[in-house]
């Protein structure tokens, strides 16, 4: 089994196209064609983690945070990033990062936070949905081929809107064309104008499916020259974006809720704004450095925003409209290791998927 089989599966769940523009998710060291010996999952791929992977025979280290964010101009071991990369390369260790692309999908980092703090599943939604990630395909096909064409495109991800799939719209009409010399028309005669009873199909899908949907369309369509339009939409994507917002099963005393968050997230301490509400119910979560979601959380009417890396002056921005809680960057994402281990174990049960024993949190508490 090759390393690429694991990576390709992870990128089906969290496509690299969904990462933020500052990010560097993907394969950082190693080759996709390496034979897989074992995986080790971590939050940060430090030197100590690479040492552990070498010792335990894992040659694919899957980290949440990329060890390299920006380009390396020199590789001489002067800092921990370069030393980690050098050690991985020398020992044939592949380092793969699955970062903001995992943050930005359902079932990822923020979904796990929501599970841990007890938000109801049925009322969750993306806090900051991304725009420009949806495509609309319009294609014209003879009536008799509608079912076959739809089935082929649905199988490749077309027609998914929120919690619905196999969505489409159709409009019947008549198309005209004149086959030219060298063509092999589905119907009609070369050099003569033809009319065909056709159906216009419209389908919406995530842009990451564009290539596979178009390939399926061309393969299933009876025409040698398919008339279609592919249009990028500015609609918000309901399943892709930063953070989640949802509700507790019932209103909860605010202080008790924060104590619960501290416990279930394994936080050494919480930093938060004044507890100005006696009870809370609607909760927003955004793992990592997520104070940029404060405005969206307010707009959603959230009672609390749980995130990490909040600066002193940013706490003022809560303005007693919301309880802003900083549980720590590491603490808001540390469970990502168990999340990824579970995903890998379910898909590839014959391989050992190890959790690092190294605590990579650089922040300590007295």
**How confident is the model at residue 167, as a pLDDT?**
98
**How confident is the model at residue 257, as a pLDDT?**
98
**How confident is the model at residue 54, as a pLDDT?**
98
How many CB atoms sit inside 10 A of residue 267's CB? Answer: 22
Q: Which residues contact 183 (CB under 8 A, 6 or more apart)?
A: 190, 224, 225
Q: What token pair was written down for 17?
A: 């196209």
Beta strands 271-272 and 353-355: pairing type? Answer: unpaired
Domains and CATH numbers, the chain: 3-101+333-355 (3.40.1390.30), 105-127+241-326 (3.40.1390.30), 133-233 (3.30.70.120)
The closest alpha carbon to 110, from 22, 234, 46, 18, belongs to: 18
pLDDT in tens, 87-108: 999 999 999 999 999 999 999 9
C-alpha–C-alpha distance, residues 111 and 121, integer Å? 9
Length of the chain: 366
**How confident is the model at residue 73, as a pLDDT?**
86
Give the 3-state secondary structure of residue 269: coil
Question: Average pLDDT of the chain?
Answer: 96
Instruction: Please identify every stretch of the chain with a pLDDT value under 50, giving residue numbers as ranges.
Output: none
Measured at the CA of 88, the angle between CA 84 and CA 94, to 5 degrees, comes to 125
Give the 3-state secondary structure of residue 189: coil
pTM metric for this prediction? 0.90
**How confident is the model at residue 117, as a pLDDT?**
98
């Amino acid at each position: 089994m090759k390393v690429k089989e694991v990576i390709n599966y992870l990128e089906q769940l969290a496509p690299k196209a969904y990462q933020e523009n500052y990010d560097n998710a993907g394969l950082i060291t190693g080759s996709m064609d390496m034979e897989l010996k074992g995986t080790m999952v971590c939050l940060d791929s430090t030197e100590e983690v690479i040492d552990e992977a070498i010792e335990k025979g894992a040659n694919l280290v899957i980290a949440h945070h990329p060890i390299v964010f920006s380009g390396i101009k020199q590789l001489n071991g002067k800092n921990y990033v370069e030393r980690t990369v050098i050690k991985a390369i020398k020992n044939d260790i592949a380092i793969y990062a699955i970062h903001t692309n995992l943050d930005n999908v359902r079932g990822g980092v923020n979904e796990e936070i929501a599970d841990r703090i007890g938000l109801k599943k049925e009322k969750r939604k993306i806090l900051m949905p991304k725009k420009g990630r949806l495509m609309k395909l319009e294609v014209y096909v003879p009536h008799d081929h509608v079912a076959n064409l739809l089935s082929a495109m649905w199988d490749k991800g077309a027609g998914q809107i929120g919690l619905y799939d196999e969505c489409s719209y159709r409009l019947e009409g008549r198309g005209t064309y004149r086959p030219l010399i060298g063509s092999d028309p589905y119907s009609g005669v070369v050099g003569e104008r033809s009319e065909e009873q056709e159906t216009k199909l419209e389908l919406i899908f995530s842009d990451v499916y564009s290539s596979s949907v178009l390939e399926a369309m061309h393969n299933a369509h009876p025409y040698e020259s398919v008339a279609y339009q592919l249009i990028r939409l500015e609609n918000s994507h309901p399943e892709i974006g930063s953070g989640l917002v949802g509700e507790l099963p019932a209103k909860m005393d605010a202080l008790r809720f924060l104590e619960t968050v501290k416990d279930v997230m394994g936080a050494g301490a919480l930093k938060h704004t004044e507890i100005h509400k006696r009870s809370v119910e609607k909760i927003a979560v955004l793992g990592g450095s997520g104070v940029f979601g404060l405005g969206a959380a307010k707009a959603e009417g959230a009672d609390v925003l749980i995130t990490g890396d909040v600066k002193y002056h940013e706490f003022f921005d809560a303005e007693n409209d919301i309880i802003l809680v900083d549980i720590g960057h590491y603490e808001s994402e540390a469970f990502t290791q168990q999340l990824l281990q579970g995903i890998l174990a379910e898909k590839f049960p014959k391989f050992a998927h190890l959790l690092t024993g190294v605590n990579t949190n650089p922040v300590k508490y007295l």
